[in-house]
Chain A
């Protein structure tokens, strides 16, 4: 028997600790989606009107670099959140996202969610705190990779 969206959201690490009522509010803005390998979830410059929670599969966040082609910046795996450009104006994607495998995800309508957060500040605060943690984790990962720690340190 297929699980309801409320049940699916209960397993999402991002929403851990949220009460049933809050999860129901979120579920009201969500639906399940499916992508085949190679499908594009969004493209740089496009309207950031959604975000995804990946439930199965892997998504590459890419930047197109002239003369090099697409470069994968990070991969998003099951349980991870994809997309935060929906949070702040001008609500435009900064990178591309492409399914590396078959992907099953839950997609959230950004306008719907922003409206619910505006009318329920407690929900907005809870959600913003969770997204801040995601942003911090990604920022720290990026900083670590900027160090190029696997470069040649020992010159003997």
Chain B
């Protein structure tokens, strides 16, 4: 994979943002937008699935955002951002032509190549589908290189579901099953927690890699359900989130036990991170 190593990212240049121009801005839900950013100089970074960028809205602040576009391909950077505070509101409100600062990519990628040849289960909750979209795109692009593939996606309401316009296209090649926490009578789909989708998912546990991203408590429940289905803990990958400032393992804000999520994560095998999820003081 043509991504810079963490060591390479830690040089002094890694703290200097590069300028990107908003080329496209698409509203996904009432509070979430997908931005396509083009570099003002060069071809743009090659970003591994699951890696994140530090995105700077000039004069407002900087936040880590996972990349949601096609992985490992130099070019525009695609970010799906939920407006939940001042910085993300400024990013989401950036009209085409606006300049934003980007640092990165940072963090560990989803091991999509290593999952090749086996079955894949993607479990996403809410905005968690955004960091997993590169995994889905990789599987779709290399479809013959995988066995069965399922996307299990849960959100708060039907209006909070991301990328719904893509699901029909995805369903031509993989299984996509969706549920919401609550819905009115017009919603024809499922209502219930995302783990409820797991019993019907088709996969061979001994040959399956699971990719999980969403709220931490959802990931804990999903990981337990995957373990119950017989998937080994080292083949359950989860993407952790903590407050990040520097993105390069210097400030320590994202420390979780012995690990710094920006540097050693955000993607971890459940086998290596599970015990720290249970430490309530962290």
> CA A68 – CA B184 in complex, angstroms?
8
Interface centre among B127, B181, B187, B218 (most CB of A within 10 A): B181
> CA A53 – CA B190 in complex, angstroms?
17
For residue A60, which residues in chain B have a CB less than 8 angstroms away from its CB?
185, 191
For residue A73, which residues in chain B have a CB less than 8 angstroms away from its CB?
182, 191
Q: Count how many chain B residues have C-beta atoms less than 8 Å from C-beta atoms of the other chain.
A: 39
For residue A79, which residues in chain B have a CB less than 8 angstroms away from its CB?
199-200
Stretch at the interface among A81-89, A125-133, A144-152: A144-152
> CA A151 – CA B200 in complex, angstroms?
27
Contact A152 B160 (CB under 8 A): no
**B94: min CB distance to chain A, Å:** 15
Task: From B154, B155, B182, give the contact of A71 (CB < 8 A).
Answer: B182
For residue B155, which residues in chain A have a CB less than 8 angstroms away from its CB?
150
A141-B195, A155-B84 known, 20 other contacts, Cβ within 8 Å = A70-B184, A71-B182, A72-B182, A73-B191, A74-B192, A75-B189, A77-B190, A79-B199, A100-B188, A141-B192, A145-B181, A145-B192, A149-B126, A149-B218, A150-B125, A150-B156, A152-B82, A152-B84, A153-B84, A154-B84
Question: With contacts A149-B215, A150-B215 known, is A156 near B193, CB below 8 A?
Answer: no
List which A83-105 residues lie within 8 A (CB) of chain B: 100-101
Per-position binary interface string of chain B over residues 194-224, scored 1 when its CB falls under 8 Å from any chain A CB and 0 otherwise: 0110011000000000000011011001000
* Interface flag for B176 (CB, 8 Å): no
Residue ID in chain B nearest A98 by CB atoms: B185
For residue A101, which residues in chain B have a CB less than 8 angstroms away from its CB?
188
Main secondary structure of the interface of A (DSSP, over half): loop
Residues of B whose CB lies within 8 Å of any CB of A are 61, 63, 82, 84-88, 125-127, 154-156, 160, 179, 181-185, 187-193, 195-196, 199-200, 214-215, 217-218, 221, 241, 243
> CA A100 – CA B184 in complex, angstroms?
12
Contact A156 B88 (CB under 8 A): yes
Contact A72 B193 (CB under 8 A): no
For residue B126, which residues in chain A have a CB less than 8 angstroms away from its CB?
149-150
Contact A156 B61 (CB under 8 A): yes
* 5 tightest Cβ-Cβ pairs between the two chains A and B: A150-B126, A149-B215, A150-B156, A155-B85, A152-B84
> CA A156 – CA B127 in complex, angstroms?
15
For residue B190, which residues in chain A have a CB less than 8 angstroms away from its CB?
58, 75, 77
> CA A79 – CA B200 in complex, angstroms?
9
Question: With contacts A150-B126, A150-B215 known, is A74 near B191, CB below 8 A?
Answer: yes
> CA A149 – CA B181 in complex, angstroms?
10
For residue B195, which residues in chain A have a CB less than 8 angstroms away from its CB?
141
Contact A144 B241 (CB under 8 A): no
17 example contacts (A-B, Cβ-Cβ < 8 A) are as follows A58-B190, A73-B191, A74-B191, A75-B189, A141-B195, A141-B196, A144-B217, A145-B192, A149-B125, A150-B127, A150-B156, A150-B160, A150-B218, A152-B82, A152-B84, A154-B84, A156-B63
